[in-house]
Every structure is written in structure tokens, then in C-alpha cells.
Structure 1
Amino acid sequence: MKTYLAIIICAIPAFVFGQYTDVINSNRPGASKSAYSVGVNVIQFEAGPYYIKENHVPLDYEISGGGVDFAARYGLIWEPLEIIVDGTFQGDTYSDSRSLIEDEYSRSNFKTLSVGAKYLLYDPYKNAHLDKPNLYSWKANNSFKWSRLIPAVSVYAGANYDTDLNPYTPQGIEGFSPKVEIMTQNNFVSGWVLIMNLSKNRIGMKDANDQDASDLQYIFTLTHSFGKKWVAFGEYQGIKSNFYADDLFRLGGAYLVSKNLQLDTAATFNIKDTPTVFSVNFGASYRIDFHKDKETQENDAFPTNNKAKKNKKSEGEYYKFGEDEDTAPTEYKMDN
């Protein structure tokens, strides 16, 4: 199962009956969102504390403190649909050294708080079982397929909520504002996964100076799994707005404790001094699983005695992505 932990950590689906997987699929520890949902009737909590330090050299101030990132995800009605509530709460000390007497004060508030829905528009693995192997060519079965470059694509629509006099947001904005996002995901062989997010936040909001208070963010996350329990990742996040702009880099990893519990850690930094940013976080993801496959639900409603038929794989059935049976490859494997 070479790609199994990439499935777990980056929410790569094991498609047999939709997006549900036998083990937890978490968006942590990076800032990006997977294109896939947690599965119908799955409730998932993802959270973790972090330490942060900033130093703005030209303006001669420092920020030191901590906070917590959190998310609650729920698979609702359809496999491609997911409801998400997420945000970041931070408390820190702001030290201004521009005068002879240093000015220092504490502050705290939500840096972000949003609720929305994500929907999978396109899944390149949905009909993978129809891609039958070539019985006459080993090369055709094992050569690179250009179709693997086509990503899964999801869209997100939701709303941000900001409070008045928030030190982490542009001055003068308050209340709800629209948020939209596009998420893509490529699941490559050998445990590599690429996720890309493009989002627009606080659409239409104006600050106290009647300037545009929205921001554009783009995130690229590359992960690689090592065995069944460990995964490492690297991430780039770009932020562009009139209030704040930055290029953030993250490195970290995660460990699968059980099928419903994951632990993770990551470090975030940038390469400028307006301000410099350094942050370390630790977190966990926990799943409460009430999911039932559609076929299982139908069998419960109309029980039969065809146990022998259940034990025999029908034509077109395949193993899960990243799952081995004897010498099964880490892609979908067809039964002859």
C-alpha cells in the first residue's frame, strides 16, 4: 500500500462506492483543502495549537503569541458534498519599539472564521473500473497514462464572518462576506499527491478608507507517503491584498494512530522582513464514522442468502486505490 498514507492525510479517496475511505482523510497539517469530501454521515474534527513570532524590521515591531486552527467537516446527503466550518483564533503580544519607551499590549480575536459547502464537480477515478487491462501487452498496462494528469476538481462557496475592531483584519470591515474557492487534486503513482487551491475572500468588502478589503490566496501542496503510517509534505501559500501580502512556506508531516485518528506537525516561514514570520503547530484529526455504503444499506433493507455471490468478485470490480492484494499494483486492479 505505497500510497495509503497520502490517501489518509491529503484526503485521497478510495473509490469503490464514492469518496468514503476506510481510514480518516484529513486536510491537516497544511492550509490547503482536498478536492474530496469525508463521505456521507461522517463527522470529522481537525484542530491544533500553534506558536507564532513576527518581526517587522522597517516598522520596528514584534508579535509573539499563539492560537489554534480548527475545522469541523460533515458529509451531507451526497458523496461529493461536504459542509465545512473552519477558522483560526489567535492571541498575542504586540511590542512597538519605534519610540524610546516600548509600547506593549495584548490582543486576541479570530483571524478567520467561515462556513461553507464544497462539491466535487469532476472525479477522474469515478469510472476507473472501466479501464480494463490489456491482456496482450505488459507495456500498455504499466506505461505512463496521460489521463493521470487530469485532476479532480471541486468548488466551494461560503461566507466569512468578521467582528468590528479586529486587529487581524482590515479596519472598518464587519459582518458576513462571500468566499469562493476552486480545489484540484492529482493522485500520482508512488505515493505522490499534488493539491492546488485558489480562493477569493471577503468579496465586495470595503475598509474604513473605502479601499478593496478582499484578498486572493493560492496554495500548492505536494505530499509523499512513507509506508502505511507516515507522510511528509511541502507547501507554498501566496496571499495578495491591500491589507496584507506574503509568500509562506510550510514543511511537516503526519502519523496515522488508528483508522479514525491522525497526529501532525508543521513549521511555517517566509523570506521577507515586512514582517518575518515563523510558526510551529501541532494538531490532531478525529473522525466519527456513521457511514454506510449504498450497497450495504440495500442489503440491510432486502436481506438475501447469497453469501457465496458476495464472496465472488464480479466482473468490473476493483481493489481500492493504494491497496494491495498479493502483487496488486498501487492503482486500480481489475480481476480477469
Structure 2
Amino acid sequence: MKYLPTFFLLILSNFCFGQFNETIRTGRPGQAIGAFTVGKNVLQFQQGLDYYSTAETNLPERFIFNNVVRYGISETVELSALVDYQYEDSGVDTAATTLKGISNLHFGFRVHLNDQKEWLPATGFQMRLKMPDVSEDFEANHLAPAMVFIANWSLPKNMSLATNWILSYNGNDPNPTGKYIVNFGFPIYNKFSGFVENYGHVNQSVFQTRFDGGFAYLVNNNVSVDLFGGYGHNQNVTDYFVSTGISWRIISFKKN
């Protein structure tokens, strides 16, 4: 462990290619994130409102207001924070419960490792730490890491394929969760684009998988809005969600 900081410094010192893109690159819509960072001195916000429910009336409904802030400290390294505020209602009249508060507070970084070379993907690595003791209703007892290896391919006709491979902890028990995401993106018309996605996770031999899809509209080079939804059927429970959001960035102080 004592050599870990030196290892990261050696990696970062080898990155000198540019990351800033003429149009905004965002983690919305969908679950997958990209291998690229925002670019040096670029400040980016990704905000959304999610609604989750199930076909079973005895399970809770959830609203989540999610916020991601990203800032590029170099062309290939960014710092980031994630803040989720959650409202949850059981919906059961006889024993109704309501939970609310910050359900996630993460701080971390993303590094772009390499660009795509023919069929070898562009890759990146992201790590964030979930903070403990930030909410009474959604408390994590310990600091918890989430690590993501990212592999992206640019395909012909402005299509794309993105994969994420994730190992994360919840901060309450020592059991890790392994996750995967496979995202296929495609243009629709003019400034409209779409995607379809499959994602899932396994924890203590329990496997769940879900599908989602939707579209985004590029308002201008620095602003994008989106709408998407998803569905799953696992362990005899059917669940679904819808999400809408906006991504925007500030580049006026970017140094040329």
C-alpha cells in the first residue's frame, strides 16, 4: 500500500494528450460513464431527478435528486463529487414509513488512460469514496470505495459502445458488489441521440440485471438535456424507473 501514491503519480505523469471536447461529454443519460475527462480547468455539472417504483404495492417508492460535479485539474485527470438526496415512501397505509436525506456523498477522481487505437478501446479509471455518517435515514457506517474500469469504442456512423466494470462496497458490511454496464449509443436526428443499455450486479451470489434506454438533446455545445427509463424483473419483483436531467459546463476560464 505504501507504493500506491507513487504508482498513481507515475501513471499521471505519462498523460499529455488533450481531453477537452468541442461538445459536452456527460455521464447522462444512462448508467455508464465514459473514459474521457472534462478537460483542464473545465467545471461540469450533471443533475437529474429519478423516480423508482415497483409493481408490488407493499414496496417503497423513491425520488432521488442526483448531482455530479466534475472539475479537470489537467487534460486527463479530474476531481469529482456525487451528492444524492433521496425521499422514500413505503406507500403502505397501515405502517407507512418515510425516509429522507442525503443517501450518497462521494468524492473521488477519474483518469483517462489511453485513446482508442483501431479496435483497442479508449480506457479510463474512476475511484470514489462514499462518506459515512451523512444521514440518519441512509447511514453508512464506514468509508466505502467504488472503483470503475472503463472501456469505450467509437463506432462508424457516430455510434458508440461503452462498458463499465465496477467493484464497490456499501459501507455497512465487508461484502463487495460486482457490477457491469454495457451501453450502445447512436444518433437519432440532428442534435438528438439515443442509447440502450444492460446493466447488473452480483452480491453474495445474488444476481440482478436490468435494461434501460432513452435519448438526449444537445441544446448547445455546453448544455445537454435528457430523458430515459428502465425496467427489471429479479427475484420475482418487477421494478422500473424514469429519469430526466441536465448536464452543463463552464469553460470561460479554460486556459488555452
User: Aligning the two structures, in what range does the TM-score lie when normalised by the shorter sequence?
Assistant: 0.7 to 0.9
Match for 2:97 among 87, 90, 105? 105
TM-score by length of 1: 0.65
Aligned to 1:85: 81
1:287 correspondence with 2:230: no
Q: Which residue is equivalent to 1:307? A: none
- Report if aligned partners of 2:212, 2:231 keep a CA contact under 8 Å in 1: yes
* 1:92-121 deviation per Cα after TM superposition (whole angstroms, max 9, x unaligned): 21145xxxx831111123443311111111
Which amino acid in the other structure matches residue 31 of structure 1?
A: Q
Shift of the 267–168 alpha-carbon distance from structure 1 to 2, 3 Å rule, reads farther
Give 2:60's aligned residue.
63
**Structure 1 position 274, deviation (Å):** 4.4
- SS of structure 1 residue aligned to 2:234: coil
C-alpha offsets along residues 237-270 of structure 1, whole Å, 9 cap, x if unaligned? 1122249752121110000111111110100110
Report the 3-state secondary structure (helix = DSSP H, G, I; strand = E; otherwise coil) of the residue aligned with 1:175: coil
Report the counterpart of residue 160 of structure 1 in structure 2.
130
Query: What TM-score, normalized by structure 2, do the two folds share?
Result: 0.84
How many residues were matched structurally? Answer: 240
CA distance in 1, matches of 2:226, 2:168: 27
- 1:34 counterpart residue number: 34
* From 154, 178, 196, the counterpart of 1:187: 154
Report SS of the residue matched to 2:96: strand
Q: Which protein has the bigger strand share?
A: 2
Q: Secondary structure at the match of 2:246?
A: strand
Write the letter of the residue equivalent to 1:48: G
Q: How does 1:130-149 map to 2 (within 5 A)?
A: 147=118, 149=119
Gaps spanning 5+ residues in structure 1: where?
A: 1-16, 126-146, 294-336
Match of 2:90 in 1: 94
Q: Aligned residues: percent identity? A: 23
Displacement over 4 Å in runs of 4+: 164-169, 242-245
Answer whether contact 2:116 2:153 (CA < 8 A) is retained: no
Aligned to 2:11: none
Q: Decide whether aligned partners of structure 1 residues 168 and 247 sit closer, same or farther in structure 2, where only a CA change above 3 A counts.
A: farther
Q: Report the residue type matching 1:79 in the other structure.
A: E
1:55–1:63: 8 Å Cα contact kept in structure 2? Answer: no
5+ residue gaps in structure 2? 1-16
The yes-or-no answer on 1:214 pairing with 2:211 is: no
Which amino acid in the other structure matches residue 194 of structure 1? L
Question: 1:257 and 2:237 equivalent?
Answer: no
The 8 Å contact of residues 95 and 102 in structure 1, kept in 2 or not, is answered as no
CA distance in 1, matches of 2:194, 2:168: 28
Choose 223-232 or 281-290, whichever is displaced more.
223-232
Q: Which protein has the larger Cα radius of gyration, Structure 1 or Structure 2?
A: 1
Counterpart check, 1:199 vs 2:169: no
Contact 2:105 2:134 in 1 (8 A): no
Give the aligned residue type for 2:80: I
Question: Closer, same or farther in 2 for the Cα pair 1:223/1:285, shift >3 Å?
Answer: same
